Structures are given as C-alpha cells and as structure tokens.
Chain A
C-alpha cells in the first residue's frame, strides 16, 4: 500500500480558501489539508502549513473545539518584482470538534518542515479495554 501511494505522481491541488469566516486582518485565509487517524492511544492530526514558523502556529482548545491557526510572516524583500505567481500566500485556519474522549490537558504539538503534527491522547476511561471471558 505504501509503495502504491509513493509511485503515484503528485497532482496540483489549488489551495482552498476559507469561506464565510471573515478575519479582522485583510488577506486570504486557507484551509490546511489534514490527515486524521485514530489508534488505541489517541487521535493524530497532521496538517500541511507550509511557510508557518514553529512559533507562529496557534492551537486552541475550548469546549471541545480545536482551532488551528497558522500565521505567515512576509518573507519577500522589498526590491523583488513578481514574474510568475502561481500560488497565493496567506494565513491558515481550520476548526474541528473534538470527541469527548480526548484528554485535553495532554495535547502535544510539533511543527516540522511545514507540517503540524498534533497528538490528542485518549482519556484513560475512553481507552478500549479487552474484556476477558472467564471460563470455568
């Protein structure tokens, strides 16, 4: 399965802009692409946020709502002139409702190479427990 995915050629996917939610600051706001998967210990969320420095990502958990924001500081210097513009640069914003089973105190985040890696551990009570069947 891994080999199949890697031998494929990557396709251009335009960035998706956030609809509706208007920001106080001008400029485009994009929805980062995410992978969310669950195993026995918790939920892992990976989000593509290219251009965001580790200090400029903001993760906010409030009443089961997880909000991700990533800010991009302008990095082009003043004397640069555009020749070709194929993609736009803007902030990232996305919101998720967390299932109740997440232990909100123990959320762990890391941003590396423009990918946010968020680990949401399950609360002890929510971990699946194997039920032993007693036999006489």
Chain B
C-alpha cells in the first residue's frame, strides 16, 4: 500500500526527478543567501581588506593597516589597477612572557582593479590612525558628464 502510494506520488510522474532536486537546491541557496546577508564575507580573501567609494571626480580606497608605517608601504598604480604591498612588523620582546598573542605580523600584497580608468599622476595617499586612504582621480573619460536637455 505504502509502496503504491509512493510510486503514485504525482511529482515524479512524467517528471525528471533531477529537476526536483535542482529546485530544492535553488531554494536552499536562497535561504542560505538570506542568512548570510547579515555578515560581510571578505570577497577577496587577500589582506588588506579594502573599502572603495567614488565621487564624481575620485575613487576613494580605504584599508585598515594598524601599526604599519608609511615607509613600509609600497603603492603602485597603472591605468586601472592599484597594488598595495608592504609589511607589518611587530617587534617581540625577548624577555616577555605572553598572555595573549592575537595580533599578526607579516607581508602583504593586494592588487585591485578599479571600475574605470584613473589618472595615475593624481593619487593622494594618506595614513592616519592606522587607516590608509587613497584618493585616486578618475581620468577625464571615466568622469560622468552632465547632459543638457534642450527644450
């Protein structure tokens, strides 16, 4: 009786069962996607994480680099790419006994492609309170142009 009912299950009649599995998978992806919306997953997975914003004239790139000195940073720019590399040094005290050691040191290098062309001669880099801010001028072509509407 049970067997019969199972075989008569309307969903499988004349349908590809894989299609059904696909539908379930899509549904699960959707649910998981919603659950993830509350977290920010690092997209690149490369240190340092960056935030990028834009104004009409500039792209503004920010990265948190606490304890990194300006002379330990190397910033390179091409037409559309920015590379930030450097080193974070933490001098260990040879006489100290550690209770906690959570801060990390090491080398890093990150390349980033910007959405539009940049004017690489007009880049301003600042390091304040451990945050690197790059103000990158957009090239003439990448700037928005106001279109006048004729009456």
**A interface list, Cβ under 8 A from B:** 1-2, 5-14, 33-40, 43-44, 46, 48-54, 76-77, 79-88, 111, 113-115
Contacts and interface: CB of A to CB of B under 8 A. Distances in A.
Contacts of A52: 129
Nearest to B43: A86
Interface size of B as a range:
35 or more
5 contacts: A6-B89, A34-B100, A54-B129, A87-B64, A114-B66
Given A34-B102, A48-B66, A48-B130, A5 B107 contact: no
A80 B103 contact: no
Contacts of A44: 93, 96
Nearest to A33: B102
Nearest to A53: B129
Interface of B: 40, 42-56, 59-60, 64-69, 87-93, 95-108, 115, 127, 129-131
- B contact patch SS: loop
A38 B64 contact: no
A86 B107 CA distance: 20
B93 A39 contact: yes
5 A-B pairs closest in CB distance: A114-B130, A114-B66, A37-B96, A50-B130, A50-B64
B106 A6 contact: yes
Contacts of A2: 91-92
Nearest to A117: B67
Contacts of B69: 113
B96 A114 contact: no
Contacts of A51: 64, 129-131
Given A12-B42, A51-B130, A86-B40, A36 B99 contact: yes
A129 B138 CA distance: 64
Contact of B40 (A9, A76, A77, A88): A88
B112 to A, nearest CB: 8
A81 B100 CA distance: 39
A87 B107 contact: no
A136 to B, nearest CB: 34
A76 B130 contact: no
Contact of B99 (A37, A50, A81, A84): A37
A53 to B, nearest CB: 6
A37 B98 contact: yes
Contacts of B90: 5, 35, 46
